[in-house]
Structure 1
Amino acid sequence: MAQPFPSRPERIPTIPRYCSGIAHHCSLCVAPWRGVPALSRSRYLQPSQGGFVNKNAGVAANSVDADGAEDGPDVLIVGSGPVGLTLANILGARGLRVLVVEERAELIDYPRGVGLDDESLRTFQSIGLADRVQRHTIPYQILRFVNGEGKLLAEMAPSAGEYGWPRRNGFVQPLVDAELLRGLERYPGVTVAWSTRMQDFAETRDGVDVTLADADGETRRVHVPYVVGCDGGRSGTRRLMDVDFEGTTSATRWIVVDLENDPLGTPNSYVGADPARPYASISIAHGIRRFEFMLFAHETDEQVDTPHFVHRLLGRHIPRPEDAAIIRQRIYTHHSRIASSFHRGRIMIAGDAAHLMPVWQGQGYNSGIRDAANLGWKLAAVATGTAGQALLATYDEERRDHARAMIDLSTTVGKVISIRNRPLARLRDTLLTRASILPALKRYIVEMRFKPMPRYTSGAVVPAATENSPVGRLFIQPTVATPAGEVPLDEELGNWFAVLAWNNDPVTLLGKEAADSWRAFGARFIAVVPQAQLGYGGYGPDVRLVGDPGGIKSWFDRHRESVLFLRPDRFVAAACLAQEAPETSRRLLGALHIAATAPDAPADVPARIEGK
């Protein structure tokens, strides 16, 4: 059957340095920033007689179903933000045909998120883009909380990198988004349609009929198996799903001001718990400094929207505010909201469309990337016929509690920072200062141990029998030795499932029937041995031998299990002793709703993008 959507064009929009501009922008709003020039006025797809046409590729004939809808791609993604682009890269790597529709004419050219964590970088590693993303980061960024006099109250400076990447990174979101967009060039089945919005949809027995509209109002109907809304806080997808967006919106406004040629030049960031006016000062990559200030009820938008007002705010923090090079500024409010459902039938939402949280822990962006990582492999498995539809229900089941925990943490931290009652502020300062005296409590703060880590007790896992079980937790990523040299562990695991055994042959442990099932599913078999044993024979031809310098053994020293079944998002789906491998495999294949005869899995994504 002819494919109705052409392969991806070679050219993508490039992103310039930020432009100047002053406007208001709420995180619930999807309107482009006033004053920001277009990144590229050319579109991948343009309206034409007979449908949208890719200017840079030929167009196959479109088949039409009985209801008049064109046969569309495997997955329609609404929104070209970081979540939608990450998801498109994950699905493209699995060989799926994907259409990303974006209402704007180009990528957003202003920074929103400024904090990138190790989990997100690991996801970008899985799609071969981490090296390019890292060029736009400040790794190991320290965050210091100070009071109104500048006295240190607490410090977050995590040095551990158990997942293979720095825990805290300042970053420039538009440049990272551009890298994610460029990554789609690798996949001929992935297309981006600019100036195109999803107007409506209707779920059918075998998919979703979607009405798309271009900037001129021309519409077309396409039939797709699955729709994912990554279209922000004012998500049209969520509205059409008719799910609630539960939570609150703060009445307090804040103003964010981004400066180029960083007037402070220091590499780290500060949150000022100043009762006179709480603020944040954040260093991000490429010489950019962000300031955020609380606004008071009597300060009108018109008053705030002037250079004089902004210079007065900056005057307490930089030597010469009148010389500051303002890239842009905007007014926003904090939201603490979560959708009542992330998934209904063949329609899902992710990122800000599913949850919004205050900025204080820098987890809004990262929570969206977690959504993409969790949903991506499940959607790939179901859309290719490898797994049953029931697997998609585990997306909501696994992500909801953790997203809620991140919202609650961010909201609580914001309340502590924003205290304006001076006696209460002094009490807070005293408690935080005394807490830093206690070594254990200080480590808890410095190493960010308070950050909720996902743990899945149900869903696409074999439930853990003990509290100490690694099931449902993210697995570590140390550097390991291979015959070709040292690499991060995930480079050997690949971007799909892996069965990993300590000092044993996983194929032998599984037995022929179970091993054949995992082969058909596209899994890799990994035998981890002490590095001194690397090169010793005795393993099957499809077993990858990995030498451990000590990090993986230390992990196994803390657990009773010796065989791990690792998901593509690097969570432990099941774990057991060596002799329990066949039965654990059987239980896990059931939990994953694996089809009896799974199609051959596509090849792994290239490790990284080469070239400029």
Structure 2
Amino acid sequence: MRDQTIFDVVVIGYGPVGQSLSILLGERGYDVAVFERWPSLYPLPRAVFHDHEIRRVFHAMGIGGEVAAISQPSARYQWFNADWKTLVEIDWSAESISDGPVGYLFNQPSLEALLDRKAKSLGSVSVNQGWEAIQLRELPDYCEVTLKRSEMENGVWVSSGETRTVRARYVVGADGANSFVRKAMGIAFEDLGFQEDWLVIDLKPHEGVKLDVPDIGQWCNPARPTTMVPGGPGYRRWEFMRLPHETREEMQKPEKVWELLSKWVTPDQATLVRYALYTFRSLLAEKWREGRVLLAGDAAHQMPPFMGQGMCSGLRDVWNLIWRFDLIFKGIASPDLLDGYTPERRPQVRAVIDASIAMGKVVCTSNAEEAARRDQAYLSGSVPPLPPFPGLTDGLIETAQNSASGGIGGLLSVHGQIENDGEVMRYDDAIPNGFHVIALDADPERYLDASSRALLARIGAQTVGVTCDESQAVAGRVLLDASGKYRAFMAEHGAAAMIVRPDYYVFGAVGALTDLPRLVHALASRLALAEETDGGAAHVQRVEARA
């Protein structure tokens, strides 16, 4: 069967990355077909952590409150040696730049069920489970994907013999580590050298049971490196590294599972949810776009789990793509805008993988002498702290302000509470998503000339002022910075005004408001804008903050 409809995007893979991409496209009214080889959602836990940036994305998807209901704020992330002395401590409970704690723990089946309901509620999203992609062709004007139908019979996945072919302007492979899409495009992985086997165990403590275990931590014990984390409300996870003398088969026996858990929990205290042996690896696709085909999530990158950034990185891929697709489908930008996807995402993910590997080497030490040297280095304070979370260092950022050299361009922008006309709310709930021109203590529109207003109008940008001075607040135009975060962030970087991208990263800033038109033109020159066909745009969107 050949479907003559040409979708805007076909998504291959229906995990959290494919689900989120489908939702974000569908909410913008684009025609999306998503295909997943398995007939139902994966029922067992995998990812357990998302950070403040991803929580903000969930809010943008309209599910922030629902995600909060299935999550719990993180405690301090602690790394102990064999004697329970603290080697490293990362305060994931601290206030983040995004308004709220740095991290959250959740149960992935609960999250996938929530995303599934959201995706299937959108009329422009077609969810097709039980369809495996078997052929991919890129043609000049669209792609063709051929899929075969399969069903589960007595626990076995069996092809029904039915096939169909669909067309789309773009195809995104969000189909995991063994990505069909990546292989079909002949894209190779770069192996960054980390590989260790770990047994991952999820369980649900019985009601009233309180376990004597660190809330979230790594026990860097060379006799048995061990991870202990919440698995979302009501769940716990342990991860045990396979030692050199142990076989993979041995690690997956039920008696071995309870033997490893015996120090912490017994069968009469908890129900075993699942256990599986995983090989933690560090892989990075050499490129993430080939013409009309793109990769996202584990199809593009895999990393050790020690920084909790696997799923987060996949959702950043989606968030980076969505505004590009939006401008292209609206005819505002040319397809060349997608050229910035790999240069922006790959270096950031590479930095995250490098940090994950570095932390993995701290915990994955099974040699007692090496562990003793490691402990001495950390306990003496001779090991430098972890670097800050990486921003963007290439792509659509003001070149002279690159975050790689200490500038504001490419940094994740601040988010906090604002007050508008007496009502306090999240900034994102007050201002529609898109490009934002944010000025401190002023209405930025006063400093825009006609051409910069026209450019901002063309890309649907918003202009807004923020202030901590109540006397300067103007309802709907200059909002009161109730959290003080905007003033602090902009003062730290010497910014009188800044342009923030739809994915919340800073394009660039100016130290004087009179320089704002120049910054607007710099943005426009980098956006791969399409040729105008309507005689030009009207006026820039003046923010009417939602009350």
Q: Normalised by the size of structure 1, how large is the TM-score?
A: 0.80
Equivalences for residues 63-78 of structure 1 within 5 A: 70-78=4-12
Which structure is richer in relative contact order (CA contacts within 8 A, separation 6 or more)? 1
Q: Secondary structure at the match of 1:352?
A: helix
Give secondary structure in 2 for the equivalent of 1:464. Answer: helix
Q: Does 1:316 align with 2:249?
A: no
Amino acid at match of 1:269: I
Q: Kindly state the Cα deviation for residue 248 of structure 1 after the two structures are TM-superposed.
A: 5.4
Q: Does 1:453 align with 2:390?
A: yes
1:420 aligns with 2:366: yes
Q: Deviations over 1:79-118 (max 9, x none)?
A: 1111111111221222211111111111111111111111
Structure 1 consecutive aligned stretches of length 4 or more whose deviation exceeds 6 Å: 598-601
CA distance in 2, matches of 1:389, 1:423: 55
Q: Deviation at 1:249?
A: 6.7
Matches of 2:442 and 2:532 in 1, distance apart? 28
Q: Does the aligned pair in 2 maintain the 1:455–1:473 contact within 8 Å?
A: yes
1:470 to 387, 390, 408: 408
The aligned counterpart of 1:492 is 430
Whether 1:580 and 2:526 are equivalent positions in the alignment is: no
Question: Does 550-559 or 80-89 show the bigger shift?
Answer: 550-559
1:594 shift after superposition: 2.0
Query: How far did residue 184 of structure 1 move?
Result: 2.1
Distance 2:419 2:455 in 1: 28
Deviations 1:328-351 (A, max 9, x none): 111111111000100111110011
Q: Indicate yes or no: 2:445 matched with 1:507.
A: yes
| 2:201 equivalent to 1:257 | yes
RMSD: 2.5
Which letter maps to 2:142?
G
| TM-score, normalised relative to structure 2 | 0.89
- Does residue 128 (structure 1) correspond to residue 62 (structure 2)? The answer is yes
**In structure 1, how many angstroms separate the alpha carbons of the residues matched to 2:406 and 2:253?**
56
Q: What is the match of residue 32 of structure 1?
A: none
CA distance in 1, matches of 2:247, 2:409: 52
Q: Which amino acid aligns with 1:533?
A: S
Corresponding residue number in structure 1 for 2:130? 195
Helix, strand or coil: the match of 1:125?
helix
Change (3 A) 1:212 1:486: same
The answer (yes or no) to whether the contact 1:248–1:336 under 8 Å persists in 2 is yes
Give the aligned partner of residue 408 of structure 1: 354
Contact 1:137 1:284 in 2 (8 A): no
Q: 1:212 to 1:493 in 2, by over 3 A?
A: same
Contact 1:533 1:547 survives alignment (8 Å)? no
Q: 2:120, 2:127 within 8 Å by CA — same for their partners in 1? A: no
Q: Deviations over 1:465-497 (max 9, x none)?
A: 474431111110121111151112222332212
Which AA in structure 1 matches 2:250? Answer: Q
Asked if structure 2 preserves the Cα contact closer than 8 Å seen for 1:141 and 1:267, the reply is no
Kindly provide the amino acid, as one letter, of the partner of residue 515 in structure 2.
E
Cross-structure match for 1:178: 113
CA distance in 2, matches of 1:515, 1:183: 36
Question: Kindly tell me: are residues 598 and 105 of structure 1, through their superposed partners in 2, closer, same or farther at Cα, counting changes over 3 Å?
Answer: farther
Matched, 1:398 2:332: no
Contact in 1 for aligned 2:441/2:469 (Cα 8 Å): no
Partner of 2:282: 336
Residue matched to 1:162:
97
Q: Structure 1: how far apart are the matches of 2:210 and 2:191? A: 37
Question: Any idea what SS the aligned residue of 1:72 has?
Answer: strand
Q: Cα gap change, 1:69/1:137 in structure 2, threshold over 3 Å: closer, same or farther?
A: closer
SS in 1 for 2:7: coil
Say yes or no: does 1:289 pair with 2:240: no
**For the residues of structure 1 that align with 2:468 and 2:195, how far apart are their CA atoms?**
57
Quote the Cα distance in structure 2 between the aligned partners of 1:250 and 1:432: 22
How many matched pairs?
Answer: 522
What residue is the counterpart of 2:45 in the other structure?
Answer: 111
Q: What CA distance in whole angstroms lies between the structure 2 residues aligned with 1:138 and 1:267?
A: 15
Counterpart in 1 of 2:155? Answer: none
Give the whole-Å Cα distance in 2 for the aligned partners of 1:433 and 1:507. 53
Distance 2:397 2:392 in 1: 10
C-alpha distance in 2, partners of 1:294/1:598?
60
Kindly report which structure 2 residues correspond to 1:423-572, keeping only aligned pairs within 5 A, or say none.
Answer: 423-435=369-381, 444=385, 450-456=387-393, 458-465=394-401, 467-483=405-421, 485-533=423-471, 536=474, 544-549=477-482, 550-572=484-506
Is contact 2:10-2:172 (8 Å) kept?
yes
User: Cα distance, 1:244 vs. partner?
Assistant: 0.5
CA contact (8 A) 1:251 1:333 kept: yes
Q: CA deviation at 1:283?
A: 1.6
Give the counterpart of 1:229 among 159, 173, 179. Answer: 173
